[in-house]
Amino acid sequence: MPASERAIELLTAAAEAAHDKKAENVLAFDVSEQLAITDAFLVASASNDRQVRAIVDAVEEKLRVDFDAKPVRREGAREGRWVLLDYLEIVIHVQHSEERSFYSLERLWRDCPTIALPSPVPGSAAE
């Protein structure tokens, strides 16, 4: 069973918020066939700890305001190197570029289908 419509909506909104804070290499994977605990992963990266935190804050605010969604678990925010936000339907990973390269989550989940995400809007803060 593919990712739910709600999961896709949350992913899209989270990706837009991440792009607004200049997140790099934003990808989404439908992991619903592989994992029973969530439908999809969103992975994004940033070049420094401060930007990782800014992306996480923007994603949390966007999902709270637009969807009344709050993460049930939030890990790694203090260090700002790899922050995990668990919204049950989706799990968001915002990683420092070095962690992204080292752990290579996209390689780990390469057998899962990707989910199309909106590109940054020309002229927006993400460009």
124 in a structural domain: no
Q: What is the pTM of this model?
A: 0.91
Number of domains in the chain: 1
Output the domain CATH number for residue 71.
Answer: 3.30.460.10
80 in a structural domain: yes
125 in a structural domain: no
Q: State the chain's maximal CA–CA distance in angstroms.
A: 39
pLDDT for 30-87, tens place per residue? 999 999 999 999 999 999 999 999 999 999 999 999 999 999 999 998 888 999 999 9
Provide, rounded to the nearest whole percent, the portion of the chain with pLDDT above 70. 94
Query: pLDDT tier at 121 (50, 70, 90 boundaries)?
Result: low
113 in a structural domain: no
Domain that holds residue 15: 5-108
